[in-house]
Amino acid sequence: PYFFWSITVSRFWSPFVKDLVPYVPGEQPKLDNLVKLNTNENPYGPSPKVIEAIRAQLDDSLRLYPAPNADDLKQAIAARYGVNTAQVFVGNGSDEVLAHLFNALFQHGKPVLMPDISYSFYPVYCGLYGIEAKPLPLDEDFRIRPEDYRGENGGIIFPNPNAPTGILLPLDGIEQILQANPDSVVVVDEAYIDFGGETAITLVDRYPNLLVTQTLSKSRSLAGLRVGLAVGHADLIEALERIKNSFNSYPLDRLAIAGAVAAFEDQAWFEECCNRVIDSRRALSESLAGLGFEVLPSAANFVMARHPQRDAAELAAGLRERRVIVRHFRQPRIDQHLRITVGTPEQNRQLLTALGELL
């Protein structure tokens, strides 16, 4: 009966929705005894000061709307990165920031350049806004080739470090792309930059066509709070604000603003967690290599690894039976890789034990 109901009611869908192919996020099962290494969350919790700041908001003031411009948070971000608040945009996770920028800054009628192996939300946004996506192949070592990012285009976007490869493009490669494309917006999605990369935010004053996005979901352990940001020339930010204000004038709720401000204030906690993840990444990569895996050099909080003799889908299924979840992509060139989030040393040990049983 449910099936019948759903096909009859779906006749109310707009034709546009019928053709829409949405993004499918990694699964979020209940945690009981699972070693969850599938969606690149931080294995350490947020700063206790974040929890405190959110608790302090849990009162009668929730009846009031939040600050329409999240000014306190913009100030915290501007101070952290040495820019002014007119150069900062915030949204519900970088996914929302990305959605707005595809709409606000990429030119329709021209292809948007992106790596062929990259964040799979980008082609989804292209579909949503009727923009052509032009995927450019990575080189044989899975690196972005800056020299390919040129010619007529409606914008450029890539994660740095790239996801799901984890490979970092140094700032000179980014500058090469910026210089070759003075007439298009170049977006550097720095979701994973704090785990060993150098941010391109230092370039925004020299390149008015550069927009850098970041998230509090990974290095600041706040995936559940949904806070993302963009930094760039004030005119790019103004375009994002116009789109945002045409959807929902309140970028973030009161709890998210308070928690995010506190997260930027506790720099020591942030650095400690990042350093722990970086140390564990090195140990995990070495142990995986010891088990015969080929591991891509990662600057992120995950590693991409392939076993030359074992099928990746079977390994992922075997791990799951042992209550360890990792991510496997059914995509050309990476369908024999596993993307493994760096966990705590204990979680990594459980992963390696389970792999040891399977190999």
* Residue ranges that bind ligand PMP, judged by CB under 6 A: 93-95, 119, 159, 163, 189, 191, 215, 217, 223, 228
Q: Checking DSSP bridges between strand 228-232 and strand 88-91, what pairing results, if any? A: antiparallel
Question: Cβ closer to ligand PMP: 159 or 259?
Answer: 159
In sequence order, the β-bridge partners of residue 339 are 304, 327
Question: Cβ closer to ligand PMP: 94 or 280?
Answer: 94
Q: How far is the CB of 94 from ligand PMP (least distance, A)?
A: 3
Question: Cβ closer to ligand PMP: 149 or 355?
Answer: 149
In the three-class reduction of DSSP (H, G, I as helix; E, B as strand; rest coil), residue 136 is classed as: strand
Tell me the C-alpha distance between 219 and 73, whole Å.
Answer: 17
Pick the closest to residue 35 from 359, 351, 358 (CA basis): 351
Q: How far is the CB of 75 from ligand PMP (least distance, A)?
A: 20
Q: How far is the CB of 318 from ligand PMP (least distance, A)?
A: 25
Q: How far is the CB of 115 from ligand PMP (least distance, A)?
A: 11
Which residue, judged by CB position, is nearest to ligand PMP in the bound state? Answer: 93
Question: Cβ closer to ligand PMP: 135 or 318?
Answer: 135
Q: How far is the CB of 298 from ligand PMP (least distance, A)?
A: 13
Question: Cβ closer to ligand PMP: 186 or 191?
Answer: 191
C-alpha pair distances (Å), 321 with each of 175, 292, 318, 342, 354: 46, 21, 5, 20, 9
Q: Checking DSSP bridges between strand 228-232 and strand 210-215, what pairing results, if any? A: antiparallel
Q: How far is the CB of 45 from ligand PMP (least distance, A)?
A: 16
Pick the closest to residue 306 from 286, 335, 345, 263 (CA basis): 335
Question: Cβ closer to ligand PMP: 173 or 228?
Answer: 228
Tell me the C-alpha distance between 280 and 106, whole Å.
Answer: 38
Pick the closest to residue 120 from 147, 91, 95, 142 (CA basis): 95
